[in-house]
Amino acid sequence: MTQKKHTPTYTSEFRAHGIRLFKENRTNYPSNNDAYKAIASKLG
């Protein structure tokens, strides 16, 4: 049996900040995935 990976709970402010960063910086990256990775590394 495999165990489910724990998904952390984030505040609505943290999510909103991440979404805003993604929208502002999406055009700087060739794909959504690249943009997500870059934003995630900035947010920690």
pLDDT for 31 equals 95
- pTM comes to 0.67
pLDDT per position in the chain (44 positions), as tens? 678 888 778 899 988 999 999 999 999 999 999 999 988 888 77
- What is the pLDDT, as a whole number, of residue 42? 82
Cβ-based neighbours of 5, under 8 Å, separated by 6 or more:
none
